């Protein structure tokens, strides 16, 4: 039996129930930042907005995150969680690179303006370096010269991020325009190119049916195919020069492109 007496009527309001507030962590801060990003977009994402989403004072965030730049880095790192790249396979390196590209784009598109954040973060933190090293291993297993293998990842990442960022920009423009769907916007743009003066813009008119005829998925696949075929041709030239075949081992490749 408890010895505690019931509170007097005028004192009941003074007694507080035990706090059930969830401790603030970096993980919760990143979750809230993604919520704000999806709702408000990159330009309106701020530490103050994230604090308001969590229902805490903005000063509480700085005990866990130094500022907006570190917050962006944590959001970028989150994008790679649970993503394991395969062991390099010289016979399937093209498929491995295409799979990497598709998954990268998909993860960028999971959140509004995430591509814009990704563009501003250098992928050299301990959490992401294993991914960078593995993608380089795939390039080396393909037989690419070291100079090309070292640059290929940056070229592909720039394409993926730029493509995803462009997608988000055009999606905003579509919503602001009178065209209700992407197909409507495609039709309007095709009509615009067809109606240009052919004597001044002969190539735009001649190719008007092909400039915007593809879906974003098709455009992305074609862009990556162009890049991968270019890498394949360089690898073939390197093999013809050295007379060696690519192996699963990440051995130093010939320095000539």
Is residue 254 pLDDT above 50, yes or no? no
The C-alpha angle with vertex 253 and arms to 251 and 256, in degrees rounded to 5, equals: 175
Identify the residue with better confidence: 124 or 198.
198
Distance CA 131, CA 75 (A): 16
State the average pLDDT for the chain.
Answer: 87
pLDDT (mean) for 57-68: 96
pLDDT for 257 equals 41
- Of the candidates 132, 144, 140, the one whose C-alpha atom is nearest the C-alpha of residue 100 is 132
CB 25 within 8 A of CB 64: yes
pLDDT for 251 equals 46
Distance CA 74, CA 85 (A): 20
* 60-69, 143-152, 169-178, 215-224: segment of lowest average pLDDT: 169-178
pLDDT for 154 equals 94
pLDDT (mean) for 208-230: 91
- Of the candidates 138, 23, 135, 49, the one whose C-alpha atom is nearest the C-alpha of residue 91 is 138
Identify the residue with better confidence: 216 or 64.
64
Residue whose tokens read 């989403």:
53
Instruction: Count, in order, helices (H) and strands (E) of the chain.
Output: 12, 0
Is residue 253 pLDDT above 50, yes or no? no
Structural domains of the chain ordered from first start: 21-78 (1.10.10.60), 93-242 (1.10.357.10)
pLDDT for 174 equals 67
At 19, the pLDDT band (50, 70, 90 cuts) reads very low
At 115, the pLDDT band (50, 70, 90 cuts) reads very high
Is residue 218 pLDDT above 50, yes or no? yes
Q: How does pLDDT run across 81-98, given as a tens digit for each residue? A: 988 899 999 999 999 999
CB 223 within 8 A of CB 163: yes
Is residue 256 pLDDT above 70, yes or no? no
Query: What share of the chain has pLDDT > 90, as a percent?
Result: 66
pLDDT for 183 equals 77
Distance CA 233, CA 84 (A): 27
pLDDT (mean) for 137-157: 96
Query: What share of the chain has pLDDT > 70, as a percent?
Result: 83
Distance CA 56, CA 142 (A): 51
The two tokens of residue 53 are: 């989403």
pLDDT (mean) for 99-104: 96
Identify the residue with better confidence: 143 or 188.
143
Is residue 133 pLDDT above 70, yes or no? yes
Residue 188: other Cβ atoms inside 10 A: 13
Q: How does pLDDT run across 160-174, given as a tens digit for each residue? A: 999 999 988 877 776
Instruction: Indicate the pTM of the whole model.
Output: 0.78
Is residue 178 pLDDT above 70, yes or no? no
pLDDT for 167 equals 87
pLDDT for 9 equals 61
């Amino acid at each position: 039996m408890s010895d505690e007496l019931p509170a007097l009527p005028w004192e009941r309001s003074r007694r507080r129930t035990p706090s059930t507030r969830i401790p603030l962590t970096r993980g919760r801060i990143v979750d809230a930042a993604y919520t704000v990003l999806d709702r408000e977009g990159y330009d309106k994402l701020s530490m103050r907005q994230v604090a308001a989403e969590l229902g805490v004072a903005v000063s509480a965030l700085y005990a866990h995150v130094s500022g907006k730049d570190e917050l962006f880095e944590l959001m970028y790192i989150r994008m790679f969680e649970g993503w394991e790249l395969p062991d390099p396979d010289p016979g399937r390196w093209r498929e491995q690179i295409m799979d990497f590209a598709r998954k990268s784009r998909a993860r960028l598109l999971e959140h509004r303006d995430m591509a814009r954040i990704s563009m501003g973060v250098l992928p050299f933190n301990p959490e992401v370096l294993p991914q960078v090293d593995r993608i380089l291993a795939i390039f080396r297993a393909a037989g690419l010269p070291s100079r090309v293998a070292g640059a290929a990842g940056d070229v592909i990442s720039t394409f993926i991020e730029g493509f995803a960022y462009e997608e988000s920009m055009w999606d905003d423009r579509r919503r602001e325009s009178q065209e209700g769907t992407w197909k409507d916007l495609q039709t309007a743009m095709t009509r615009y190119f067809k109606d240009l003066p052919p004597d001044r813009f002969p190539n735009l008119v001649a190719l008007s049916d092909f400039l915007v005829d593809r879906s974003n998925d098709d455009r992305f696949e074609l862009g990556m195919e162009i890049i991968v075929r270019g890498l394949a041709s360089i690898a073939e030239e390197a093999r013809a020069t050295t007379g060696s075949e690519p192996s699963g081992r990440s051995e130093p490749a010939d320095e000539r492109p």
